[in-house]
């Protein structure tokens, strides 16, 4: 991957002009727990920079913010001072936003998503005394070799294993033997979602057709609606999305169709998206990726003097980092039992879930 280096001068100019206006999470009443928490709170600050999906994307960014809110609230930090977020409306804001937290002396700054990979590397090299946590990616040089920096911790998830489990559920619930996958940006990360999902479906019934398409963006719900409309029209009755805000459009299309009598479903991603399917109740299940737990844990470790810089921290099935959502009213007991069976096989090493297209091709050929 080519590393895109933004100008430091531009970063500083934008930082000076946008810090107050771009910040979210101003101080609110009711955030402190227990009398006197504000005066007893530790001298610690944690920030979050979102990708372009925004902090209210009902998916990845929102989950990250919820984790930081939980951390800040539990230790008595004041929202807007001890913990806050900066929302990025476009790619050019990543480095200025990261730099603002570094300049303000924040103890750790979280970068939500692989889209900030280049910005984190640039910011970490420019601010060697600041600590950054990149969620969902590893740094790389121009040749694609992994790079570890002492002031950057890297958090990744076994999305493919969680996606495998919701694929099992989709296979047990499809009435048309055709299901769909909609991704945001075609990338190695989102390929993990796609290939894990397809492997789960095919492990239950190799005859089920799985169609996939990428929107090319994580913040275009109208594209999600359009792709979903085509898939549903062509016979898919369940669609799994890994598309951030673009996935909101999948829910819109499913709800419109269900209100007209069609029996279609959506599988949510990153957090329990049951409510996104209401009132038409179109969320079959969700692949929960506990970004909130990861942010909470890294923030706590950093405050305790154990910042995991210079390495990768992986959250998988064993760490409850991925799995199916707690909202299970639409999932049959038979499907839930099968999920537990496959989950144990994955944990025991009997099944190796594919991440890449090449690994999936080998997996499918062996079925």
Among 97, 133, 130, smallest CA distance to 12 is for: 97
H/E/C letters for each residue in 50-77?
CCCCCCCCCCHHHHHHHHHHHHHHHCCC
Distances from the Cα of 270 to the Cαs of 90, 124, 221, in angstroms? Answer: 22, 27, 16
What pTM was estimated for this model as a whole? 0.81
What is d(CA 285, CA 335) in angstroms, rounded to the nearest whole number? 11
Assigned token pair, 106:
């924040």
C-beta of residue 76 within 8 angstroms of C-beta of residue 108: no
pLDDT at 3: 42
C-beta of residue 324 within 8 angstroms of C-beta of residue 285: yes
What's phi and psi for 26, nearest 5 deg? -70, 165
Q: What is the CA radius of gyration of the chain?
A: 21
What is d(CA 235, CA 16) in angstroms, rounded to the nearest whole number? 52
Q: What does the angle CA 302 – CA 304 – CA 309 come to, to the nearest 5 degrees?
A: 30
Tens-digit pLDDT profile for residues 134-144: 999 999 988 88
Tens-digit pLDDT profile for residues 73-132: 999 999 999 999 999 999 999 999 999 999 999 999 999 998 999 999 999 999 999 999
What is d(CA 200, CA 167) in angstroms, rounded to the nearest whole number? 4
Query: Which helix (DSSP H) or strand (DSSP E) does residue 28 occupy?
Result: none
Question: Per residue in 22-36, is it b (16+ CB within 10 Å) or e — as a string?
Answer: bbbbeeeeebbeeee
For strands 178-183 and 209-214, give the pairing: parallel
pLDDT at 178: 98
Residue ranges of the chain with pLDDT lower than 70? 1-39
Tens-digit pLDDT profile for residues 343-354: 999 999 999 999
């Amino acid at each position: 991957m080519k590393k895109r280096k933004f100008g430091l001068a531009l970063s500083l100019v934008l930082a000076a002009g946008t810090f107050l206006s771009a910040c979210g999470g101003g101080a609110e009443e009711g955030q402190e727990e227990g009398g006197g928490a504000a005066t007893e709170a530790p001298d610690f600050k944690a920030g979050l920079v979102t990708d372009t999906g925004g902090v209210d994307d009902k998916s990845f960014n929102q989950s990250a913010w919820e984790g930081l809110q939980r951390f800040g609230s539990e230790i008595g930090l004041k929202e807007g001072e001890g913990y806050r977020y900066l929302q990025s409306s476009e790619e050019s804001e990543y480095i200025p936003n990261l730099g603002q937290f570094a300049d303000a002396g924040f103890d750790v700054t979280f970068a939500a998503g692989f889209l900030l990979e280049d910005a984190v590397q640039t910011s970490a090299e420019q601010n060697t005394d600041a600590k950054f946590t990149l969620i969902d990616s590893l740094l790389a040089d121009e040749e694609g070799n992994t790079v570890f920096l002492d002031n950057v911790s890297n958090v990744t998830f076994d999305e493919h294993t969680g996606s495998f489990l919701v694929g099992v559920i989709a296979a047990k619930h499809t009435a048309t033997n055709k299901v769909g996958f909609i991704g945001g940006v075609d990338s190695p990360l989102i390929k993990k979602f796609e290939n894990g999902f397809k492997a789960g479906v095919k492990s239950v019934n190799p005859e089920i057709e799985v169609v996939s398409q990428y929107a090319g963006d994580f913040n275009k719900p109208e594209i999600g609606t359009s792709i979903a409309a085509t898939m549903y029209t062509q016979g898919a009755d369940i669609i799994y999305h890994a598309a951030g805000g673009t996935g909101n459009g999948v829910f819109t299309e499913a709800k419109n169709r269900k209100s007209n009598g069609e029996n279609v479903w959506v599988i949510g991603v990153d957090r329990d998206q049951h409510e996104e399917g209401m009132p038409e109740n179109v969320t079959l299940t969700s692949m929960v990726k506990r970004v909130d737990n990861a942010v909470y844990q890294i923030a706590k470790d950093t405050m305790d003097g154990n910042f995991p810089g210079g390495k990768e921290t992986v959250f998988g099935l064993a760490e409850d980092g991925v799995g199916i959502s707690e909202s299970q009213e639409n999932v049959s007991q038979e499907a839930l039992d099968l999920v537990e069976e496959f989950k144990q096989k994955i944990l025991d090493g009997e099944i190796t879930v594919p991440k890449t297209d090449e690994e999936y091709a080998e997996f499918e050929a062996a079925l």
